Amino acid sequence: LTSSPEVAAMTADRCLRLASSSHFTARSPTPLPFFTLLGQALSAAPQTAEHLNAATRTTMRLLRGARRLVRRRQREHLGRQLDDAARSVSDVVTGCLRVLDVAMKLHTADSETSEAVVAEVLDEGLLHIGAPVFHSPSTRSAAVNVVNTVMRVPAVFARVAKTLTRFQLSAAEGLAKANSSRFVRIMHTNDDLTRAPSGYVGLVNQGLTCYMNSLLQ
């Protein structure tokens, strides 16, 4: 692929045609190397908006399909069967996230597409309380990489920061009520995300919130 841009372009085109077909769904037993090949082909091929937009549309369709599948299983079953449902789509979800990360790095999407990516990966995936669509550590890591990439757009960066702040406050409030302990103190809550007059910026940990603190900061 790296030695022949023409072969890379042809490979990317054929992979995208296959992944875009109606027979290719989140339920498809697709090995992770398929998505690895697609990502490598996109990186090595001459950059075209057509290929990169197609990759974004296709991976977003598959991610939504996986989310709907797992949520449907959540309504129908509980416990191990729900975990099995999330595990069954893990390779497809991880592969889609990795391809999406490649596409977003190579092509700065418009604000509407960027917002859709954030909504799907962050709101419905990483921060969703309920069915674990992002089941494995590799899937969650790939999702964080996508969020980091799409935050290159200033408007998206501000949106993600505010979303994480709201989630942090909501989680901390629930934890405080559960533990009947003091509410988490936050050094700045300004809508414009400016530094507080005190000169300090950051969150004070209140037990079990350190991971979200580090992610936000």
pLDDT at 178: 56
- Give me the mean pLDDT over the 120-132 stretch: 78
Question: What digits encode the pLDDT tens for the residues 63-84?
Answer: 888 888 877 776 776 555 556 6
DSSP state of 136: S
Helix 80-88 to helix 49-76 angle (10° resolution) is 170
Average pLDDT over residues 37-61: 88
The pTM of the whole model exceeds 0.75: no
Q: Is the pLDDT of residue 164 over 50?
A: yes
Counting DSSP H helices and E strands in the chain, the numbers are 9, 0
Residues 6 or more apart in contact with residue 93 via CB below 8 angstroms? 26, 62, 63, 66, 133, 134, 135, 139
Quickly count: other Cβ atoms within 10 Å of residue 160's Cβ: 19
**For residues 93 and 211, what is the distance between their CA atoms, to the nearest angstrom?**
23
